[in-house]
Structure 1
Amino acid sequence: MDPNVSFEVRFWDDDRIKVGDGEPEFVLSFKTKNALARTFGDGFLGFGESYMDKEIEIEGDFRVLFNLGHRIDFGNQSLTLMEKINFALLFLRNQNTFSGSRRNVAHHYNLGNDFYQLFLDETMAYTCAYFHTPEDTLEQAQLNKFEHICRKLMLKPGESLVDLGCGWGGLLIYAAQHYGITGVGATLSQPQAEFAREKIRRLGLQDQIEVRHCDYREVSGKFDKLVSVGMLEHVGKKFIPTLMKNASLLLKPGAPGLIHSIGNDTPFQDDPWTMKYMFPGSHVPALEQIIHDLAENRLTILDVENLRYHYALTIEHWLERYEQNFDEVCKRFDERFARQWRLYWWVSTTSFVHGGNRLFQVLFTNGLNNELPLTRAHLYRDA
């Protein structure tokens, strides 16, 4: 335990435990005996559900609390036998078959475009941004990300780009506007597809790019470049090889592709709370799995970049905007839902700073390509 950390734990019967000297940096309150039992019995799943139900409250700096949790690896606490059975059933029910993927995507991404507009910026990018400096605005950092990816892919006018899991179409639109590409994006979220299509029409780009409401496994054709930003972690462990196989089929020989995904340095147990409430069917892969499954499909790795801290900065922006609209979220849904998402932001931002989460961008080619630049100078010209 850090000797400089001071905090207090309060219980339902007014009993208190004080740790450290000075003013507590946070106060963790267990409002019921059940909340304490569930936290120690079911780990973060029990803690998370108790917080959602207002049986746990956190006052002060939540970052200190969750940083301590990451340091003691609280998320890997063993589940009870019943929770293990329930988690196994949840896992089996949420497999990313064609029908399962649509159901899992709808759970998180079909909450309404207006909900996401409460905390995203004008680009509607819902993935890690790229900060040239910590003072960059969220929108500038998202545009930086688009540019960084376009440079990695070495896009040229007239080339074709396929974007698997294109979200609200931000990257595809940026590439069309700034690099003159043609392209196809795929998303399983109907609201995302409708939003992207309307924006493409409004910008007069409909002759260059299109967004399809379809599964990534339903996209066909041959493309000069491929990108997938923030989708790999949603396809499930079983289907990561399928995504890599599709990438090899969609890319022309020697053509570059880029995978942008949350990951871990080593294999890590999926979190039951996140799987149940935020991202059913998801799996955060270890880097070794990503590399292995690329190589198995003769996709040759060129570059791996870890943008871990950039994601912490990104989520801090989202969290600030979310808190400003917390009451509105309560009105649109309910307070339990609003507290669920707040907890997700709290855990996520601290995990990228002190926990196991990483953000990998993996650049590769479909087989060997001996015509690529010898250095990375093209990434940083006039940056």
Structure 2
Amino acid sequence: MTDSIQNPSSGALAAARDGSPAVLARHVRSAQAIMDILFGPPSIRAFSVRYPDGSLERSGAPSPLFTLALKRAGSLSRMFWPPSERNVGEAYLRDDYDIEGDLEAAAGLADLLIATFSSPQTLLRLAMVMRTLPRDDHQAPQEQPARSDGGLTPSGDVHSRERDAEVVRYHYDVGNDFYALWLDSRMVYSCAYFQEGTEDLETAQLAKLEHICRKLRLKAGDRLLDIGCGWGGLILYAAEHYGVSATGITLSEAQAELARERIRAAGLEDRVQVEVRDYRDLGLSRDEPRFDKIVSVGMFEHVGRARLQEYVQQVYGLLKPGGLFLNHGIVVVEKDVPPGAVEQLARLVFPQKTFMHQYVFPDGELVYTHEVLSHAERLGFETRDIESLREHYALTLRHWVRRLEQHHSEAVASVGETGYRVWRFYMGGCAWAFSTGRIGLSQMLFSKPDARGQSGLPLSRADLYRSAD
């Protein structure tokens, strides 16, 4: 069955090359049948569908959430066969289809697809219809993207220093101008903090920086280390508003260059520095003093489960007794459910990396919050505060997607249409994953008690929520 679908009949291939209205009408009827199998009849769908012949199949909802625009006769065959989220993503990159409207809502169709693909009988029905559609009528991108649209296949051992540098630069060296299109003015590329949920992105990111500084109880004269400092937004804020001396490290030359420019412009070169450096290479010299406070925001997703203990141990060694460590990152929150028989078979027959691993975060790996806590506490850290910011990240991503869409033409000029689609697809899907609890965001505060067991923290959290002076 699989071979017949991946290598369609000569009749289907001939039909793909035949542009006659009759052939197109036949393909549209097959596409309509596939949509009915996957999502039910139009009357119960929350979205509309536009087919390659221009016909619009309207949703039964008074206000459809979006329109799925199928560009070619074979779009659905490449989107959904073999079934995988990567194929859906790659079909979007090729412009086989578009989402006109709410991309986050479109990502929510994943639940329906998972239920559908878990049924062998439904898969057989789909296979019979899919084989009537062409698979070779897609188009290569018209433009030359800023980098290959095939994603990244990194070299070397997973999470070696060299490979980590390669994958981090793949993601972050897309171009500072591109990130500036949709991030806030400080270019903070991590979850914002919304006190009401109605704030604009600039206000929410400023609130996040302030929230982190308060949790760390920063004070003038503190030595602060930011592991994965990005474009320097947090260390600049901490130096300007709390009088700390700050060191930021990143593996991205592009990030470091812009961060240094901003440090010079702020006149803070005497107290703030940014280095292109791996976290594992810190503290190797006895001449390097330890830090009063350490923060890592959106970085430990790159560490990997196998190196998590090494990461926490390194931070512990860099921190002074009585110091604080704040670790802020994406975590797994879903129940770990073994794959069903159909899913296991699909993984054997159609092995492939996920869309995220191929195009966005090669080697990225999420862990559970309790795994971080376990490693930290075994080493001697004391867990003082854990805050879930899951809903905050969904709100942040909605801002980013909206801003990216508003700057479509500038984004295409920067990274090409394919690059624009990678980022729109990735961020829209992540917004759905955070809002529905597939993934979470944990902000964890640890203390390293001194010889007398003192943490230096107040008895309550009241200081975190005091009014601004």
1:382 corresponds to? 467
**2:306 is aligned with 1:238:** yes
**2:427 is aligned with 1:345:** yes
**Is residue 260–residue 362 contact of structure 1 (8 Å, CA) maintained in 2?**
yes
Structure 1 pair 73–249 and aligned structure 2 pair: CA distance change class (3 A): farther
Q: 1:146 aligns with which of 198, 209, 227?
A: 209
2:105 corresponds to? 64
Instruction: Give the 5 Å matches for 1:59-208.
Output: 59-70=100-111, 95-208=158-271
Could you tell me which amino acid in structure 1 is paired with residue 379 of structure 2? N
Instruction: Give the 5 Å matches for 1:282-293.
Output: 282-293=364-375
**Is residue 103–residue 425 contact of structure 2 (8 Å, CA) maintained in 1?**
no
Structure 1 pair 186–267 and aligned structure 2 pair: CA distance change class (3 A): farther
User: What is the CA distance between 1:237 and its match in structure 2?
Assistant: 2.4
**Is residue 189–residue 213 contact of structure 1 (8 Å, CA) maintained in 2?**
yes
User: What is the CA distance between 1:297 and its match in structure 2?
Assistant: 2.2
Could you tell me which amino acid in structure 2 is paired with residue 276 of structure 1? Q
CA-to-aligned-CA distance 1:98-122 (integer Å, 9 cap, x gap): 1001100110111121111111111
| TM-score normalized by the length of structure 1 | 0.88
**Is residue 448–residue 455 contact of structure 2 (8 Å, CA) maintained in 1?**
no
CA-to-aligned-CA distance 1:158-206 (integer Å, 9 cap, x gap): 1111110011111111111111111211011001111111111121111
Unaligned 5+ residue runs, structure 1?
79-88
**2:111 is aligned with 1:26:** no
User: What is the CA distance between 1:218 and its match in structure 2?
Assistant: 1.4
Q: 1:225 aligns with which of 275, 290, 293?
A: 293
User: What is the CA distance between 1:126 and its match in structure 2?
Assistant: 0.5
Structure 1 pair 190–370 and aligned structure 2 pair: CA distance change class (3 A): closer
**Is residue 322–residue 456 contact of structure 2 (8 Å, CA) maintained in 1?**
no
Structure 1 pair 60–174 and aligned structure 2 pair: CA distance change class (3 A): closer
User: What is the CA distance between 1:342 and its match in structure 2?
Assistant: 1.1
State how far apart, in whole Å, the 2-side matches of 1:268 and 1:201 are: 48
Query: How many aligned residue pairs are there?
Result: 372
SS of the equivalent of 1:249 reads: helix
Q: Which moved more, 1:159-168 or 1:267-276?
A: 267-276
CA-to-aligned-CA distance 1:24-68 (integer Å, 9 cap, x gap): 433334434364355242411000000110112223333332223
User: What is the CA distance between 1:314 and its match in structure 2?
Assistant: 1.3
State how far apart, in whole Å, the 1-side matches of 2:231 and 2:202 are: 14
State how far apart, in whole Å, the 1-side matches of 2:63 and 2:237 are: 49
User: What is the CA distance between 1:70 and its match in structure 2?
Assistant: 4.8
Q: Which moved more, 1:39-48 or 1:261-270?
A: 261-270
2:404 corresponds to? 322
**Is residue 9–residue 16 contact of structure 1 (8 Å, CA) maintained in 2?**
yes
Q: Which moved more, 1:296-305 or 1:147-156?
A: 296-305
Q: 2:333 aligns with which of 248, 265, 271?
A: 265
State how far apart, in whole Å, the 1-side matches of 2:46 and 2:391 are: 26
RMSD between aligned residues: 2.9
SS of the equivalent of 1:254 reads: strand
**Is residue 255–residue 369 contact of structure 1 (8 Å, CA) maintained in 2?**
no
Could you tell me which amino acid in structure 2 is paired with residue 235 of structure 1? V
Structure 1 pair 117–293 and aligned structure 2 pair: CA distance change class (3 A): same
CA-to-aligned-CA distance 1:314-344 (integer Å, 9 cap, x gap): 1122112211211122222321111111111
Q: Which moved more, 1:90-99 or 1:144-153?
A: 90-99
**Is residue 70–residue 351 contact of structure 1 (8 Å, CA) maintained in 2?**
no
Unaligned 5+ residue runs, structure 2?
1-38, 120-151, 284-288, 338-351
SS of the equivalent of 1:41 reads: coil
State how far apart, in whole Å, the 2-side matches of 1:136 and 1:60 are: 22
User: What is the CA distance between 1:356 and its match in structure 2?
Assistant: 0.8
1:249 corresponds to? 317
SS of the equivalent of 2:171 reads: helix
**Is residue 69–residue 99 contact of structure 2 (8 Å, CA) maintained in 1?**
yes
SS of the equivalent of 2:444 reads: strand
SS of the equivalent of 1:253 reads: strand
Structure 1 pair 191–23 and aligned structure 2 pair: CA distance change class (3 A): closer
Structure 1 pair 77–13 and aligned structure 2 pair: CA distance change class (3 A): farther
| TM-score normalized by the length of structure 2 | 0.73
SS of the equivalent of 1:340 reads: helix
Could you tell me which amino acid in structure 1 is paired with residue 311 of structure 2? L
Could you tell me which amino acid in structure 2 is paired with residue 202 of structure 1? A
**Is residue 264–residue 285 contact of structure 1 (8 Å, CA) maintained in 2?**
yes
Percent of aligned positions that are identical = 38
**Is residue 294–residue 300 contact of structure 1 (8 Å, CA) maintained in 2?**
yes
Q: Which moved more, 1:101-110 or 1:366-375?
A: 366-375
State how far apart, in whole Å, the 1-side matches of 2:335 and 2:294 are: 26
Could you tell me which amino acid in structure 2 is paired with residue 309 of structure 1? E
State how far apart, in whole Å, the 2-side matches of 1:267 and 1:218 are: 35
Structure 1 pair 327–371 and aligned structure 2 pair: CA distance change class (3 A): closer
**Is residue 71–residue 355 contact of structure 1 (8 Å, CA) maintained in 2?**
no
Could you tell me which amino acid in structure 2 is paired with residue 318 of structure 1? W
SS of the equivalent of 2:108 reads: helix
**Is residue 129–residue 141 contact of structure 1 (8 Å, CA) maintained in 2?**
yes
SS of the equivalent of 1:334 reads: helix
**Is residue 183–residue 210 contact of structure 1 (8 Å, CA) maintained in 2?**
yes
SS of the equivalent of 1:281 reads: coil
SS of the equivalent of 1:118 reads: helix
CA-to-aligned-CA distance 1:198-253 (integer Å, 9 cap, x gap): 11112111111211111111122411111000101122222222211111011112
State how far apart, in whole Å, the 1-side matches of 2:335 and 2:317 are: 27
Instruction: Give the 5 Å matches for 1:359-378.
Output: 359-367=441-449, 368-378=453-463
